[in-house]
Amino acid sequence: MQPTTKIHTNGLSFYYGKMQVLQDVSVELQDRRITAITGPSGSGKSSFLSVLNRMWTEIPGVHLQGEAHIRLGGQLHDLCDKRQPAQHLRRKVGMVFQTPNPLPMSIYRNVAFPLKLSGCSDRQQIAAQVESALRRTLLWDEVKDLLKKDARQLSGGQQQRLCIARSLVLEPEVLLLDEPTSALDVAASAGIEDLLLALKQDCTLVLVSHYLDQVKRLADKVYRVDNGRMVQL
Amino acid sequence: MPILSRTLERLFFLAAIGSALLTAAIFLLLCQLGKPLFQHGGLGTLLCSPWNPGHGQYGIYPMIVGSLSIAFLSVLISFPFSLGCAFFITHFGPLALRRKLLNLVRFMTSIPTVVYGFVALFLLVPFMREYLTGGSGLNILTASLMLAVLIAPTMIIFFVDSLQRVPLSYRQAVDALGGSPAQQLLYVVLPMAWPGILNGLLLGLGRAMGDTLISLMLAGNAVAVPTAMTQAARTLTAHIALVMAADFASMEFQSIFACGIFLYLFTALLIVALRLVGRLSPRGL
């Protein structure tokens, strides 16, 4: 595995019960690049993402074959090993969902929530990190006076940027994005796209999208999933 | 078509009115049949005085104490156990085991009460007699323990349901942010699911209060006011069953209507409480 390789799979297969969702997937995802994964719905794009942050371990009946590794903090982690705890890994491999999913709490507490989960209790440090994450997602100026407001009252695009900020507050090395703009209007999507290009500087991005023009604009490398197989385009 | 749908609408309306009237009618009938008793002593004395038919006292106070103590004790025993079971099924158990366990719990609800009572007579009662309470082994504690087992499945199913009704997107958010199952439960799921949990608790209490057979078989049916949970007691429901089996026209017989009225009012109160809890919905975390 090359030092610039962030994620690497070799002959990876993903089974949901008896159904094979991914077949013999061998891919290499580079550090600080945007890798896009496209393909028809139900082809296994989200399943691939669930391997990368080990969300697959929460789904009954799923098992993997083959190899999948991720390099975090210079160390290789085996993604197929069910016994390793997933919590630590997920703090370094953030995830943004298709539909923005702010928790039913204030804007500030949403962004501070991951820090609370990781056991941070220094209020000043939390405040500083929340502000920095909101600045990175260009949300700070819009919400700095409404931090106590319920996050669900923000617009769709703002909610999605809030969710990205919430992932960024843990300073992840990898960010998984599962069709992050498909629930948003054109203007909001453009805002998210600019943001992703900026994030590339210090984060490896894996973007699932079926908008080909979006993929063209953003991606350094594109894989297409079809019938469980992944091919580089 | 409009005629048919209007007819159906009216039929359903009649059915709704009918069942509401029936409930009211039951209450009126209870009052009517219990009338001689009220004339004899008045409701207050009835609810507060002892049961001593030989001296003309038909108070149901001992049974009220018996019913309430057995019901509350069983809920007290069952609640932590059921909540733990629900947490195991939704958060902590191995994935493959969760569904099986829930199915087992569902199956438990369909076991006839008499089977629980019977099993307890042969296993729990001798154990209590030998090691814990002494005496006959038939007492409040024995009945409450078995009743706790009986009401647990209802509570577990209700708890699991309300824990799982917390939107998946919230639970996924916590998972994806590196939260442990315990953190997910503590920070997001419980704060959103507690009205449902409270509802399950009240339903369990209602079931415990209404159960007849377990207390009849295991509580000892003594008519004295119990002062400790190792003593025998008679519940309102068991009293109704016992008196009804023996007698038809006496004052003793009429006392069961007072029991009915008390149970009726208790259930009505519970339902009001359930309604109030139903209105509480957490606005946010």
- For the record, the structure tokens of A173 come out as 């090395």
H and E: helices and strands count for chain B: 14, 2
Angle in degrees, 0-180, between the axes of helices B140-164 and B95-108, rounded to the nearest 10: 130
Predicted local confidence at residue B218, as pLDDT? 93
Do A104 and B183 count as a contact with CB atoms less than 8 A apart?
no
Q: Give the domain CATH number at A159.
A: 3.40.50.300
Length of chain B as a residue count: 285
Distance CA B256, CA B239 (A): 7
Give the pLDDT of residue A68: 93
- Which candidate in A57, A103, A108 is best for mutational testing of the B interface (most B CBs within 10 A)? A103
Nearest of A200, A216, A229, A226 to residue A29 by alpha carbon = A200
A117–B178 CB contact, under 8 Å: yes
φ/ψ (deg, to 5) at A230: -115, 125
**A27: CB partners within 8 A, 6+ apart:** A7, A8, A9, A223, A230, A232
Residue A106's DSSP bridge partners are A150
Nearest-5° Cα angle at B162, B108 to A107: 160
Euclidean distance between CA atoms B206 and B208, whole angstroms: 5
Provide the 3-class DSSP secondary structure of residue B265.
helix
Q: Domain count of chain A?
A: 1
> Superfamily for B62-279?
MetI-like (1.10.3720.10)
CA distance B32 to B19: 20
Chain B interface mutation, best of A49, A87, A150, A166, highest count of B Cβ atoms under 10 Å? A87
Between the alpha carbon of residue A167 and those of residues A7, A112, A224, B152, B178, the distances in Å are 19, 10, 26, 40, 10
Beta pairing partners, A229: A226
Task: Say which amino acid occupies B155.
Answer: M
Q: What is the pLDDT along chain B (285 residues), one digit of tens a residue?
A: 678 888 999 999 999 999 999 999 998 988 888 777 777 667 777 778 888 888 878 888 999 999 999 999 999 999 999 999 999 999 999 988 999 999 999 999 999 999 999 999 999 999 999 888 878 889 999 999 999 999 999 999 999 999 999 999 999 999 999 999 999 999 999 999 998 999 999 999 999 999 999 999 999 988 889 998 889 999 999 999 998 877 677 777 878 888 888 899 999 999 898 888 878 776 666
Residues of A in contact with B188 (CB under 8 A): 103
Q: For residue B237, what are the CA distances in angstroms to A34, A134, B19, B115, B207?
A: 70, 62, 23, 18, 12
Q: What are the chain A neighbours of B99 within 8 Å (beta carbons)?
A: 60
- Decide if A109 and B285 are in contact by the 8 Å CB cutoff: yes
How confident is the model at residue B137, as a pLDDT? 87
pTM of this prediction exceeds 0.90: no
Structure tokens at A193: 């796209």
Q: What is the pLDDT along chain A (233 residues), one digit of tens a residue?
A: 777 889 999 999 999 999 999 999 999 999 999 999 999 888 889 999 999 999 998 888 899 999 999 999 888 889 988 877 889 899 999 999 999 999 999 999 999 999 999 998 899 999 999 999 999 888 999 999 999 999 999 999 899 999 999 999 999 999 999 999 988 888 888 888 998 999 999 899 999 998 889 999 999 999 999 888 999 98
Count the alpha carbons within 13 Å of A222 in the hemisphere toward its beta carbon. 15
Q: How far is Cα B270 from Cα B274, in angstroms, rounded to an integer?
A: 6
Q: Give the pLDDT of residue B87.
A: 96
B170–A101: do the CB atoms touch at under 8 Å?
yes
pLDDT at A188: 84
Number of helices (H), then strands (E), belonging to chain A: the values are 8, 11
How many contacts, defined by CB atoms under 8 Å, are there between A and B? 72
Long-range contacts of A71-79 (CB under 8 A, 24+ apart): A71/A1, A71/A5, A71/A6, A71/A7, A71/A31, A72/A173, A72/A174, A73/A173, A76/A1, A79/A51, A79/A52, A79/A54
Which residues from chain A sit within 8 angstroms of residue B170, using beta carbons? 101, 103-104
Contact B188 A103 (CB under 8 A): yes
Q: Facing residues of A34 across strands? A: A205
Q: What is the pLDDT of residues A178-229, one digit of tens each?
A: 999 988 888 888 888 998 999 999 899 999 998 889 999 999 999 999 888 9
Question: Could you say which of A59, A90, A103 has the minimum Cβ distance to residue B285?
Answer: A103
Q: CA–CA separation, A139 vs A119, rounded Å?
A: 25
State the residue range of the domain holding A193.
5-80+88-232
Q: What distance in Å separates the CA atoms of residue A119 and residue A132, rounded to the nearest whole number?
A: 19
Q: What pLDDT, on the 0 to 100 scale, is given for residue B1?
A: 62
Report the 10 Å Cβ neighbour count for B254: 19
**Residue B282: its pLDDT value, please?**
67
* A62-72 and A75-78 beta bridge pairing: antiparallel
pLDDT score for A168 = 93
CA distances B190 to A84, A114, B196, B285, Å, are: 27, 18, 10, 10
Encode burial over B160-177: b for 16+ CB neighbours within 10 A, e otherwise. bbbbbebeeebbbbbbbb
| Residues of B in Cβ contact (< 8 Å) with A101 | 169-170, 172-173
Q: Could you tell me the two tokens for A158?
A: 């703002």
Report d(CA A113, CA A116) in Å as an integer. 5
Please list every residue in chain A whose beta carbon sits closer than 8 Å to the beta carbon of residue B95: 58-61
